[in-house]
């Protein structure tokens, strides 16, 4: 699929000594909590507000208006990759989510432990949501007994009934049928069914699932595994190639390390707490002209539906922010990968507040960072894929387009 915008940025990007940091407060955006205001409005954030007074403010759609992104598309947008063009297969997302070091040519699929009845009919697609501990025990049993020639097979616990399958070897493709029919009352599907009959991946998948059926036959309730979303690591330009940057990631959670790895970023730190995240960001900026720093907690608290807790974790990041003033990046992006409004306890489509603290600003200058001041800011409502371009512009890293 043609990516005119991405190709343009690639052709205009150039290297200099300036530094860009992108601090992602996961799930930052909020709705109005029945008139109490958004988390950013309620929170006491003197440092964010001070930064906002010297920043370009705006809102961004991670994908497009009305689309609620998962973490994958949300971060792709922030990294300047149009999530409508750069789509990640289900299996690859799962592998990224457990921090598996997926290589080019690997094939990944999402697995679910399930329950079959005596006739081999699916009774429960999630095997009663077995514990993660039981999952590990069963995965070990499968690994100890599975005998597959020619390709290397990885089976990895995700959590509860969820696991991931990775195949590594020559000549593998993503051509294999899901064995999960997505409903109960029928047998698992054959991965080699038409049009997948000739595919090596499908034939190996069939051997694997036939053996797993034998290995688990005396287990209850998890006596079988279903698969879906066979996918290969996409062959995309790396973030470093696209922007002529040498990027590093400070990310404490598997999914975000996975996304950084997918982009070809160096995994620099697994810090999870505000002070550590910012400290490691500053260290990484010595050798890297771009640092992606990820703070998970606002999303977690938003998903818990707790506006009080969401406010608290935003305040904890605010309190740590002055550390950055020791060595302020030339462009500091602070935003989220999507909104997670506490009243919804879920990701949402609402555009996300964004600041780019830098120079060469137009204004107006609002000394407050929230959804409403951002809406009135100089950036307006943009799509996430434009954020990196703006940061590149502000740091002189992008040439004029045309003579």
Task: Return residues touching a second copy (CB under 8 A).
Answer: 1-2, 4-5, 8, 12, 30-32, 38, 59, 63-74, 83-85, 87-88, 90, 93-94, 97, 255, 341, 343-344, 346-351, 360-364, 371-372, 375, 378-382, 386, 388-393, 398-403
HSE, side-chain direction, 13 A CA sphere, residue 152: 7
Contacts of 387 (CB under 8 A, 6+ apart): 22, 60, 77, 78, 80, 333, 335, 354, 356
User: Which of 262, 50, 91 is CA-nearest to residue 191?
Assistant: 91
What's the min distance (Å) between Cβ of 273 and a second copy?
Answer: 25
What's the min distance (Å) between Cβ of 305 and a second copy?
Answer: 14
How large is the C-alpha radius of gyration of the chain? 23
Q: Which is nearer to a second copy, 48 or 57 (CB)?
A: 57
Q: What is the DSSP letter of 192?
A: T
User: Which of 331, 303, 263 is CA-nearest to residue 56?
Assistant: 331
User: Which of 135, 162, 166 is CA-nearest to residue 153?
Assistant: 166
What's the min distance (Å) between Cβ of 164 and a second copy?
Answer: 12
Q: Which is nearer to a second copy, 86 or 268 (CB)?
A: 86
Q: Which is nearer to a second copy, 323 or 346 (CB)?
A: 346
**Burial per residue of 9-43, b for 16 or more beta-carbon CB atoms within 10 angstroms, e otherwise:** beebbeeeebbbbbbbbbbbbbbebeeebbbbbbb
Contacts of 369 (CB under 8 A, 6+ apart): 40, 45, 48, 49, 51, 52, 57, 334, 353, 355
Classify 28 as helix, strand or coil.
strand
Q: Which is nearer to a second copy, 199 or 373 (CB)?
A: 373
What's the min distance (Å) between Cβ of 330 and a second copy?
Answer: 15
What's the min distance (Å) between Cβ of 81 and a second copy?
Answer: 12
Q: Which is nearer to a second copy, 67 or 283 (CB)?
A: 67
What's the min distance (Å) between Cβ of 136 and a second copy?
Answer: 21
Structure tokens at 104: 């080019």
Q: Which is nearer to a second copy, 7 or 184 (CB)?
A: 7
What's the min distance (Å) between Cβ of 365 and a second copy?
Answer: 9
Q: Which is nearer to a second copy, 66 or 185 (CB)?
A: 66
| DSSP secondary structure string for all residues of 86-110 | S---HHHHHHHHTT----TT-EEEE
């Amino acid at each position: 699929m043609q990516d005119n915008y991405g190709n343009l940025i690639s052709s205009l990007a150039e290297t200099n000594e300036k530094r860009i940091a992108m601090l992602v407060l996961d799930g930052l955006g909020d709705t109005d909590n029945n008139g109490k205001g958004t988390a950013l409005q309620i929170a006491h954030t003197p440092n964010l507000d001070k930064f906002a007074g010297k920043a370009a403010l705006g809102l961004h759609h991670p994908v497009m208006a009305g689309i609620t992104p998962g973490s994958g598309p949300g971060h792709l947008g922030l990294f300047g990759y149009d999530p409508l063009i750069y789509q990640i297969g289900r299996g690859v997302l799962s592998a990224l989510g457990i921090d598996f070091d997926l290589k080019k040519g690997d094939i990944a699929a999402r697995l679910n432990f399930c329950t079959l009845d005596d006739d081999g009919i699916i009774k429960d697609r999630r095997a009663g949501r077995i514990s993660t501990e039981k999952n590990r025990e069963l995965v070990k049993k499968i690994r100890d007994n599975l005998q597959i020639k020619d390709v290397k097979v990885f089976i990895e616990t995700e959590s509860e009934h969820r696991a991931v399958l990775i195949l590594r070897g020559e000549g593998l493709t993503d051509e294999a049928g899901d064995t999960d029919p997505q409903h109960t009352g029928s047998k698992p599907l054959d991965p080699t069914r038409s049009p997948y009959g000739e595919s090596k991946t499908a034939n190996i998948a069939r051997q694997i699932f036939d053996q797993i059926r034998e290995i688990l036959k005396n287990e209850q309730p998890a006596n079988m595994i279903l698969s879906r979303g066979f996918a290969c690591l996409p062959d995309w330009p790396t973030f470093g190639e696209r922007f002529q940057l040498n990027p590093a990631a400070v990310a404490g959670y598997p999914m975000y390390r996975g996304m950084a790895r997918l982009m070809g970023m160096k995994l620099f730190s697994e810090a999870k707490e505000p002070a550590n995240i910012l400290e490691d960001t500053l260290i990484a900026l010595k050798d890297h002209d771009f640092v992606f720093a990820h703070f998970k907690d606002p999303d977690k608290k938003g998903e818990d539906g707790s506006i009080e807790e969401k406010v608290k974790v935003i305040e904890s990041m605010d309190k740590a922010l002055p550390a950055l003033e020791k060595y302020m990046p030339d462009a500091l992006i602070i935003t989220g990968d999507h909104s997670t409004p506490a009243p919804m306890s879920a990701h949402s489509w609402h555009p996300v507040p964004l600041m780019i603290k830098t120079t060469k600003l137009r204004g107006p200058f609002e000394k407050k960072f929230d959804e409403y001041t951002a809406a009135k800011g100089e950036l307006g409502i943009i799509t996430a894929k434009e954020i990196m371009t703006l940061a590149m512009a502000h740091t002189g890293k992008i040439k004029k387009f045309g003579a």
